[in-house]
Amino acid sequence: MSASSTQALDYLESLPGVDHKKLYQLPSTVLAVFRRLLPHLAKTIVAAMLYMPGPLAATDLDAWIRPDAKAEKEQAVTLLQGLHILSIDQEIPSKPVYRLSPIFAKSLRQALTGGGNHRSFGIPCNTPETEKKDITFLDDYARQQWEAILYYMVASTGAGLRSAAEISTGTKILLSTGNFVTNKNSRVSITQVGFTFLLQEVNAQIWSLLVVYLNNAKSLQMEHVDIISFLFMLGSLELGQDYSAENLTPTQKHMLDDLNDFGIVYRPSPSSPVFYPTRLATTLTSDGSALSNTSLSSTPTSAPAAGKGYIIIETNYRLYAYTSSVLQIAVLNLFTKLKTRYPNLVAGQLTKSSVQRAIGYGITSDQIISYLATHAHPQMAKSNPVLPPTVVDQIRLWQIEGDRMKATHGYLLKEFGSKDEYADAVAYAGNLGVLVWKNDVKRVFFVNRIEQMKTYMTNKAAAVKKGKD
């Protein structure tokens, strides 16, 4: 799964069950969750149970899953339970059964087979062909708006950057609420979070911003369930088609203005009854790339040629970038010591201090490496591996040198009664994927999340108590 879907998933998991119930009433939301957010095993489980008349016995589910994939099964089931898609019923303690949420199942069946009058997939308008906006126009609009936001963020790092389009005050406030930029002495400067944000791919960037938007919704008196179902609906719309804004709730109408500012939707005029989803919207819940890499080029009219790279790195850590885009140069400047700039080329060098400075900002070596690899010049991309191994290794070494200790937040569990109790708990934590460190001799272990472990311990303690009675 890509980074973008993880963010949406984390947000969704943090919502209470009541919100999930409301969300799952719309087929478009359910379909988006199903096809985009769930890992494959979870999809398989849901799909298998979708048309089942009754609940599924836990032993039957275990029989389906190969014994060596037990860890994956635990993770999938935990996730489905967290999203309130699957619930476990322990009326008869010896025979627990799994039940698919009826609301979720009904909506998913409706989404897959059609029917119903839910209108959750948008209502197309029938504007005459001549007045319609074409896809090229929408792409340009989306790119221009989104780049304006990125420009605004990096403008603080280098002089001489000028923005192509102005962004609204609302968006500026949102960026500082999300801690992407800070306002110090009325000067905007970028933060660690902002740097990480910049190096992400566009789809992940959009979700990062939207999650901030969602968290911020309460203060704007907006209903976050409305927002998220609208976002999922946008993901199912068709590019180049115009949709009616008349049936939307007040919250969603308000959102249109904000999304228009991000370049996620386009409205011909602020009071227009129609809106067009742009490519940024239609890829919200799909794997497709929102804007190709060239989107960061300074000429907004450049054709979106797929993944045209511009960076060359030599084994002596020298870096040449064929670009005249101020935004790209600013990004490179985060981790490179730039020396010369020509009309279509900048030259510089990766040095220990430049890379460690970037790491100090909160950028990881892997982010730098993946940025360099994805934007490698076609000539570089021909070789395998794309980047010189010495350079990759050195960047990693510089990072390790910078942080000599690895810190993980979480909980230390200790004082287990017996060896078996300890072994069971460790095995369970391992299957959940939360185990970070263990010491079998001292019978202690460390987990990065405690919620599931707590339930497990309580159940276990109850079972032991029962056994004694």
Task: Using CB under 8 A, list all residues that contact other proteins.
Answer: 316, 351-353, 403-417, 421, 425, 436-437, 439, 442, 444, 446, 450, 453-454, 457
- For β-strands 56-57 and 97-100, DSSP reports them as antiparallel
- What lies within 8 Å, CB to CB, of 101 at 6+ separation is 20, 21, 24, 84, 85, 86, 87
Q: What are phi and psi of 234, to 5 degrees?
A: -55, -40
For other proteins, give the closer residue by CB, 62 or 314. Answer: 314
| Strand arrangement, sheet containing 56-57 | 56-57, 97-100, 86-89
Q: Tell the burial category of 129 from Cβ atoms under 10 Å away from its Cβ (0-12, 13-18, 19+).
A: exposed
8-state DSSP, 202: H
Kindly give, in sequence order, each residue whose CB lies less than 8 Å from that of residue 21, ignoring residues fewer than 6 positions away: 84, 101, 103
Torsion angles phi and psi, residue 431, rounded to 5: -65, -35
- Distance of closest approach, residue 134 Cβ to other proteins, in angstroms: 52
391-397 contact pairs (CB < 8 A, 24+): 391/313, 391/315, 391/317, 391/350, 394/317, 394/350, 395/350, 395/355, 395/365, 395/368, 395/369, 396/365, 396/369
Q: In which element (H, E) is residue 342 found?
A: strand 337-342
Nearer to other proteins, 222 or 453 (CB): 453
Q: How far is the CB of 260 from other proteins (least distance, A)?
A: 40
State the nearest-atom distance from the C-beta of 422 to other proteins, in Å. 9
Which residue, 89 or 401, has its beta carbon nearer to other proteins?
401
Taking the complex as a whole, how short is the minimal distance between the CB of residue 461 and other proteins, in angstroms? 8
> Closest separation between CB of residue 405 and other proteins, Å?
4
Q: Which is nearer to other proteins, 223 or 421 (CB)?
A: 421
CA angle (400, 381, 346) in 5-degree steps: 75
| Minimum distance of other proteins from residue 436's CB (angstroms) | 6
Taking the least distance from each CB to other proteins, the nearer of 267 and 337 is: 337
Task: Tell me which amino acid residue 144 is.
Answer: Q
Angle at 37 (CA atoms; ends 96, 243), nearest 5 degrees: 130
Measure the CA–CA gap between 342 and 27, rounded to whole angstroms.
Answer: 54
In the complex with other proteins, the residue whose CB is nearer, 306 or 407, is 407
CB of 194 to other proteins, least distance (A): 19
* Nearest residue (CB) to other proteins, 63 versus 407: 407
CB of 149 to other proteins, least distance (A): 30
Nearer to other proteins, 287 or 403 (CB): 403
